[in-house]
A and B are shown apart, each in its own frame.
Chain A
């Protein structure tokens, strides 16, 4: 098999799950806690409280985890080789940002078999911003041979609050990275386990069904109600100083908004208003979390 990485003779490129295991091993060796995915639907690994909330305050923090991400409007009924409404991010956060962050990152690619002397690695300007989280940072897309294989950000603000200690955040899009190292052109053809199970075997049906749900069948009246419930509950819990449960409802409201958006029921002007409402929740959660940290 012709692959894009340097392999010892006779060995196969890492499977999808191998890739995760190698990243776990690598970042664990760098001193990161290996956490598990958060159990609330979210659009990006950044929403995990291990990133959003832990990026705040003066307490050092280093963690790595896989996070399933849902982008309802990216669903393509499993017909597009590159787009999924559910996919995985590998997320690393280190606070404060280490002096050798770029080198650490490049070593992680070496650990996956991507040799910078055979590939063209670049750091291409990409200012990251999440309007719903009231967060922004500066950094780059990491390119390997013209392909984005990760996003690297130095956090500057989260929940509208300037961070005390800037974190280094790295996000790998696992499917895309796996497609590259396995030299596969269709995500559903990815080798999942090295023993004959493909990504499509695991997820094709889910992509088809969730695309139908996201675009055609999700009950928008119910979603609107749930959004309002989550918003109310978040505010109520913040009133009791319960930052973490409140934040769950903030994430939920963000996902509900994404679903409503995919259903096409949010107009352009409403869109900005919805984002503003979620941002207000995120801000409240971040402030509440920070207050608890400082006690």
Chain B
């Protein structure tokens, strides 16, 4: 076996593209070099290089195979076709029995030759989210100019280049050279193995492993922060990005000018994160610290003093900008911004943000009664909830929408519950995000999401398998979470048809139902049980739906439940087969014809159970309904044991089938057991 090592050295690759590029390289190598059975593929990625190491076979052995052709006496066309297909001549064929046979030899190839043959095409096929041309001599594109190709097999250069006719491939040819840190060790040097590459680069101020850089950064910033009794605000996304911006991370700490410490902590953090990629710090009480952490890419000659001073300066300018917006925004009352929403387009087909707000006010008013919020507060919060979109701060940092609205509302002296609702109505923004709990926040959060789904469905902008540009799935999941966590009793079907101006309620309910199913599956719950109860739950009261699902699932987990399911299926099977012969058997059971005691007991049990189950379901006593169902098991088992359904006497057969149909109908009151899987 041999070690193959490839490094693609380029000008700075955007951080967000590096990991995927390493995967792409791995995939393409596995594909293109499949004959060499590459194994133990490892990849590396960073700002200036994507690399791959793999174990490959030394060579592909010569292979022989025989192709049976047409019969010796076959027509001429058949023979010509066979020869054409294999690019062979008649003389190469031999006779074997009645047939002509072609012996084929695929010559072996050394690993280096195969790699040299495949790599240029592989690099041309390499796909970046966006790639570019440069220079003037080649059409070869890369994410940014590619400067070196290092390709070695057991330490020897695998020679190839990117020339293609008149195209000089930017003069790029494979070699065994790479470069260290751009400033600290810029000279090119030769490497002979992946291990040597890693170590030699470490000596030259490059950590090639992104996970290690990430660790160095996190350990460094937390240690620096701890030195001041501070902690670092956890931000995995920022950590990944910073690890993709530096080859030699040098964590440093800077001070924040005291004059800006009265800015809202969210503003400080977003400004630092988005504009500067700085880490925010907190003091032991959880307040914003007067320090920030950041990562340089160089060991500076003055221990970083100039770098720290420079970064502190930049942050002062950033915060001065933020202060400008903060002061300017607070000079205008939030409610006087509402009118300007009429001029902001929400969506070309859906009109302005102002129109959206009017709908939200209406919905929030209706929802207030359901969730137990003060209707005036809810309407006020709905009216103000999008007003911060016209503020300078949200214009600068869209991710602060809602957060700024809350600050401005409080500044205007709005009610605290309404102010919180303005912030919270976007929640939950993701799986880990918290759900609003105050009734006013709950009302606005539900109003916003229901409106979003209803409106985009109205114009036919529904999510597809591949795309959900308006994040409607997230909105649906948000509705489910808000309702579940707060145990809101809301019949979605009824609410949507009453309060949204569209005729697509069924479609929307199906969409939300599908999200609920996905969610239950993700939680490891039985989503098939949800399918079984949905037909009886046309109103989509999610709390009720889930309580009922839980009860049915719990019942199925018991011995009675499992057995009754078997009996149900037996009944349903018999009915399906017999109903095919002579139509539905759902007429009334004739008690006079119930000759056997087992039939009589079953019928009597059903007489008692049917109203009881119906009432229990109506009263949401789902566990009781299940207990009632369990009572059905012994008489049903006894019935199947002793009674022949398909009696030769047609009237007896019909009566017994009707009895089974009653069993099926009684059980379907609780759940459609035919939809239960497993």
Contacts and interface: CB of A to CB of B under 8 A. Distances in A.
Given A102-B11, A118-B302, A185-B316, A97 B310 contact: no
Interface in B139-164: 143-145
A145 B310 contact: yes
B664 to A, nearest CB: 59
A118 B306 contact: yes
Contact of A4 (B136, B276, B297, B310): B310
Interface in A68-115: 80-82, 95-99, 101-102, 115
B183 A121 contact: yes
B332 interface: no
Interface string B1-21: 000000000011011100000
B134 interface: yes
A122 B314 contact: no
Contacts of B321: 82
B132 A166 contact: yes
Contact of B135 (A120, A166, A185): A166
Contact of B134 (A144, A147, A166): A166
A212 interface: no
A205 interface: no
B320 to A, nearest CB: 7
A127 interface: yes
A164 B133 CA distance: 10
Q: Interface majority SS on B: helix, strand, loop or mixed?
A: loop
Contact of B310 (A102, A119, A165): A119
Interface string A147-168: 1000000101000000111100
A145 B132 contact: no
B317 interface: yes
**Most chain-A CB neighbours within 10 Å: which of B130, B136, B145, B302?**
B136
Classify chain A: how many residues form its interface, as a range.
Answer: 35 or more
A11 interface: no
A129 to B, nearest CB: 11
Given A82-B317, A145-B310, A122 B134 contact: no
A112 to B, nearest CB: 14
B442 interface: no
A81 B320 contact: yes
A146 B310 contact: yes
A60 B135 CA distance: 11
A119 B306 contact: yes
B343 A122 contact: no
Contact of B133 (A122, A123, A156): A156
A122 B130 contact: no
Contacts of B130: 127, 138
Given A122-B297, A125-B14, A144-B310, A116 B183 contact: yes
**Most chain-B CB neighbours within 10 Å: which of A58, A98, A138, A154?**
A138
A236 interface: no
B553 interface: no
Contacts of A154: 132-134, 144-145
A119 B307 contact: yes
B263 interface: no
B313 interface: yes
Given A97-B135, A120-B300, A166-B134, A269 B345 contact: yes
B344 interface: yes
A40 interface: no
B472 interface: no
A119 B314 CA distance: 14
Contacts of A115: 301
A166 B14 CA distance: 20
A11 to B, nearest CB: 17
A145 B302 contact: no
B315 interface: yes
A268 interface: yes
Given A146-B294, A166-B135, A82 B307 contact: no
Contacts of A97: 134-136, 145
Interface in B99-141: 130, 132-137
Nearest to A2: B309
B300 A119 contact: yes
Contact of B297 (A80, A99, A120, A139): A120
A166 B296 contact: no
B245 A147 contact: no
B311 interface: yes
B300 A118 contact: yes
B14 A116 contact: no
Interface in A164-207: 164-166, 180, 183, 185
B298 interface: yes
B11 A123 contact: yes
A97 B132 CA distance: 12
B675 interface: no
B324 A80 contact: yes
Interface string A282-293: 000000000000
A210 interface: no
A41 to B, nearest CB: 25
A10 B315 CA distance: 29
A31 B382 CA distance: 62
Contacts of B15: 125
Contact of A145 (B133, B182, B306): B306
Nearest to B132: A138
A138 B583 CA distance: 71
Contacts of B132: 137-138, 154, 156, 166
A4 B309 contact: yes
A117 B316 contact: no
Nearest to A168: B134
B310 A117 contact: no
Contacts of A99: 135, 145
Interface string A122-147: 11110100000000011110001111
A229 B117 CA distance: 60
Contacts of B309: 4, 145
B295 to A, nearest CB: 9
Contacts of B47: 123
Contacts of A96: 134-137
Contacts of B315: 146
Nearest to A102: B11
A93 to B, nearest CB: 14
A115 B296 CA distance: 15
A124 B245 contact: yes
B19 to A, nearest CB: 14
**Most chain-A CB neighbours within 10 Å: which of B15, B134, B313, B343?**
B134
Given A166-B135, A268-B344, A145 B324 contact: no
A31 to B, nearest CB: 16
A163 B135 CA distance: 11
Interface in A233-278: 267-269
A97 B145 CA distance: 10
A204 B382 CA distance: 44
B132 to A, nearest CB: 4
A117 B184 CA distance: 7
A95 B298 CA distance: 31
A147 B144 contact: no
Contacts of A82: 317, 320-321
Given A96-B136, A122-B245, A165-B136, A116 B313 contact: no
B472 to A, nearest CB: 24
**Shortest 10 CB-CB contacts between residues of A and residues of B:** A145-B310, A96-B136, A125-B14, A123-B12, A146-B311, A165-B136, A120-B296, A146-B314, A138-B132, A147-B314
Interface of A: 4, 58, 60, 80-82, 95-99, 101-102, 115-125, 127, 137-140, 144-147, 154, 156, 163-166, 180, 183, 185, 267-269
13 contacts: A81-B317, A95-B136, A97-B135, A97-B145, A118-B306, A119-B310, A125-B16, A139-B144, A145-B309, A156-B132, A163-B133, A185-B313, A185-B317
Given A124-B245, A125-B15, A145-B313, 13 more contacts: A60-B136, A82-B317, A96-B135, A117-B298, A119-B300, A120-B296, A120-B300, A120-B311, A123-B11, A123-B47, A127-B130, A146-B278, A147-B310
